[in-house]
Amino acid sequence: MSQHRKRPEKQTRRTRGLITGAVAVTVAAGVGLGLWTGHDDSAPAGSAQAETQAGADRHAPSQSASAAAPRQNPTPSPTRSYALSTTPRTIPAVRAHTPARGPGWRPAAGRRVVVNDAGLADEGRLVAGELGLTYAGKKDDVRAGDVRLALDHGAGAAPESYRMTVRGGRVDISGPDDAGVFYGTRTLKQEVHGGGTAPEGVVRDQPAKPVRGFSLDMARKSFTAGWIEDRVRELGDLKYNRLQLHFSDDQGFRIASDSHPEIVSKQHLTKAQVRKIVALAAQRHITVVPEIDSPGHLGAVIAAHPELQLRSAAGNAPQGTIDISKPAAAQIVDDLLKEYADLFPGSDWHLGGDEYRALMVSNPAATYPQLAAAAQKAYGAGGTVADLTTGWLNDRADTVRAAGKTPLAWNDGFFRGTSVRPAGDIRVAYWTGKEIGARQPVEYLSAGRKVVNYNDEFLYYVLGQPNKFFYPRGQRIYEQWTPRVVRGTTAVSSKYDGQILGGYFAVWCDFPNAQTQDQVAAGVRMPLRATAQKLWDPRKPALTWTQFKALGDRLG
């Protein structure tokens, strides 16, 4: 059935008279939401094609009843004119919007979500359910009110990018991959939130950084599966694509293990619960990244295997520190890395590597002679404890690499002046510059390493606020941080921007009872949104913090 577009504001009386009959038919037909839309969205409102169609409809048989009525002088028909649309307000903000005139789009019962590729079924079903629409699957026909999702493998489109066109009473979202299409549906969802309207025009959007993450310390504090699932949904709507689970530390080991059930804490997630989290995350294009930290932070493992505890020449036993001179230490960690490789099918794996207490003393060789002896045996007379520890990291990288994973390690797991060099593909998770012998980010970047930003000055939410950590409120991230601010408050040179893959906002539970999990969710709410904005677009935001916070409150 033909429908009618709105007419331009400036019309002659003669033209308005010609379309009076057509208006009567259109209004009687009850076009969706009372707005006129064209049958061909390539013809703009007021175009010659639209005017010709209106003239044809004036003589249609359905108007016979009107023709039989007494003749009257033509009177102006009601018209609607639309201001040029404004850029949608979303979190993160869209990178570009081309405005247009038109009514925009709102969801309504009976409207469809259709796809051009069966691979978009998950995205289609999700947004249809969220907006109260009907998922119609793969269709080629076009109907008023449709939301069409399409894969478009055109040359030059960036990964995770999308284009969203609102025109002619319909929405078209396309991208080179399903992740980009998904992000387009997140933009649409925010635009119509609370009864809003998706503005007419074209959004062209893509992230600045390929790694946009949230890291959760669930080892020190047990979080429920339901709470983590809620964060996955929140992260997906904010266009994050990584969730890191730090599930092993001194205070607990929080995922069931078949190879070493003796190390698992009483409060833990079952593998079925983890699979559900991973599946939910995959539906939202989020990779779940496991972290089993070693050779430090292994207190839960050592509690079940005290024979693996590192001891100094004086008999001291530093907390959570495994003795890497013992082959059994490597065996148990490798057992765990191999066991969880299938549970976490994503490509990223965090190996930890931070705060190995054997290297946090003034003379490691004298304090831990067994480590010095093992280093010399492995690497010759000049071998050091730092060499031995670097070799440990490389060996663990070999283990996860064999399972198809890309290794990541904390920056204080990389040491200066060692004869053994960390493998070149191990990415640097830069979190602090407070450690002994701290190295500036530029040392890693100038060596060609890829870096992921966990800057503890801005991005660390530490329960109990120990060691001069303060809960970030979001404003400081929003106004001062960018992915190039890797350490402290100073940005590295823009020439390294391509090596900085992105960043993570991190929750650490040093004092697990300082907040409930609901308080944590509330506390990280605006910091997560601020971080999402700066990872998606590191430029100065268009909104002030007050406006951004109000937007966050409105969108929920």
The more confident residue out of 75 and 185 is: 185
**How far is Cα 286 from Cα 212, in angstroms, rounded to an integer?**
9
Checking DSSP bridges between strand 162-167 and strand 201-205, what pairing results, if any?
antiparallel
Percent of the chain with pLDDT over 70: 85
For the cut 90, the answer to whether the pLDDT of residue 32 exceeds it is no
Lowest mean pLDDT among 5-14, 29-38, 193-202, 229-238: 29-38
Burial 35-48 (b: 16+ CB within 10 A, else e): bbbbbebebbbbee
Task: Quote the tokens at residue 532.
Answer: 């999402």
Please tell me the predicted confidence (pLDDT) of residue 60.
35
Contact 66, 57 (CB under 8 A): no
Amino acid at 8: P
Please tell me the predicted confidence (pLDDT) of residue 1.
39
DSSP conformational letter for 514: G
Q: Rg of the chain over CA atoms, in angstroms?
A: 30
Mind telling me the catalytic residues? 355
The residue ranges of DSSP E strands in 282-322, in sequence order, are: 287-294
Helix axes 225-237, 271-283, angle to 10 degrees: 10
197: helix, strand or coil? coil
**How far is Cα 277 from Cα 280, in angstroms, rounded to an integer?**
5
pLDDT band at 290, cuts 50/70/90?
Answer: very high
- pTM, two decimals, is 0.85
* CATH class of the domain defined by 211-539: alpha beta
Contact 414, 439 (CB under 8 A): yes
198: helix, strand or coil? strand
For the cut 50, the answer to whether the pLDDT of residue 94 exceeds it is yes
**How far is Cα 343 from Cα 290, in angstroms, rounded to an integer?**
9
CB proximity list for 163: less than 8 A, separation 6 or greater: 152, 172, 173, 174, 175, 184, 202, 203, 204, 205
Vertex 155 angle, CA 151 and 160, to 5°: 50
Contact 429, 408 (CB under 8 A): yes
pLDDT band at 245, cuts 50/70/90?
Answer: very high
For the cut 70, the answer to whether the pLDDT of residue 200 exceeds it is yes
Compute the average pLDDT of residues 313-329: 98
Compute the average pLDDT of residues 398-406: 98
Please tell me the predicted confidence (pLDDT) of residue 437.
72
Please tell me the predicted confidence (pLDDT) of residue 156.
78
Q: Identical fold at 96-205 and 211-539? A: no
CA 110 → CA 107, 135, 184, 312, distances in Å?
9, 10, 21, 72
Task: Quote the tokens at residue 10.
Answer: 């400036």
Please tell me the predicted confidence (pLDDT) of residue 59.
33
How do residues 163-189 score in pLDDT, each as one tens digit? 999 999 999 999 999 999 999 999 999
Lowest mean pLDDT among 395-399, 467-471, 532-536: 467-471
Please tell me the predicted confidence (pLDDT) of residue 15.
36
Please tell me the predicted confidence (pLDDT) of residue 81.
86
CB proximity list for 380: less than 8 A, separation 6 or greater: none
Mean pLDDT in the chain? 88
| Chain-centre distance for alpha carbon 376 | 45
For the cut 50, the answer to whether the pLDDT of residue 284 exceeds it is yes
Compute the average pLDDT of residues 84-112: 97
Compute the average pLDDT of residues 325-332: 98
Task: Quote the tokens at residue 64.
Answer: 């016979």
| Chain-centre distance for alpha carbon 177 | 15
pLDDT band at 438, cuts 50/70/90?
Answer: confident
How do residues 33-49 score in pLDDT, each as one tens digit? 332 233 333 333 333 33
Q: Where are the domains of the chain?
A: 96-205, 211-539
Please tell me the predicted confidence (pLDDT) of residue 486.
98
How do residues 462-510 score in pLDDT, each as one tens digit? 999 999 999 999 999 999 999 999 999 999 999 999 999 999 999 999 9
DSSP conformational letter for 60: -
Please tell me the predicted confidence (pLDDT) of residue 434.
77
Please tell me the predicted confidence (pLDDT) of residue 387.
98
Give me the numbers of helices (H) and strands (E) for the chain, helices first please: 17, 16
Closest CA to 298 of 267, 319, 326: 319
For the cut 60, the answer to whether the pLDDT of residue 65 exceeds it is no
H or E stretch including 505?
Answer: strand 500-508
| Chain-centre distance for alpha carbon 517 | 21
Task: Quote the tokens at residue 315.
Answer: 């008999």
Among the CATH numbers 3.40.50.2300, 3.30.379.10, 2.40.50.140, 3.30.365.10, which is that of 96-205? 3.30.379.10
**How far is Cα 102 from Cα 394, in angstroms, rounded to an integer?**
59
Please tell me the predicted confidence (pLDDT) of residue 19.
34
- DSSP one-letter string for 215-244: EEE-SSS---HHHHHHHHHHHHHTT--EEE
Sheet strands side by side (includes 147-151) = 96-99, 201-205, 162-167, 170-175, 147-151, 112-115, 134-138
Closest CA to 146 of 157, 131, 162: 131
Contact 244, 291 (CB under 8 A): yes
The more confident residue out of 52 and 382 is: 382
Lowest mean pLDDT among 63-72, 93-102, 328-337: 63-72
Contact 254, 218 (CB under 8 A): yes
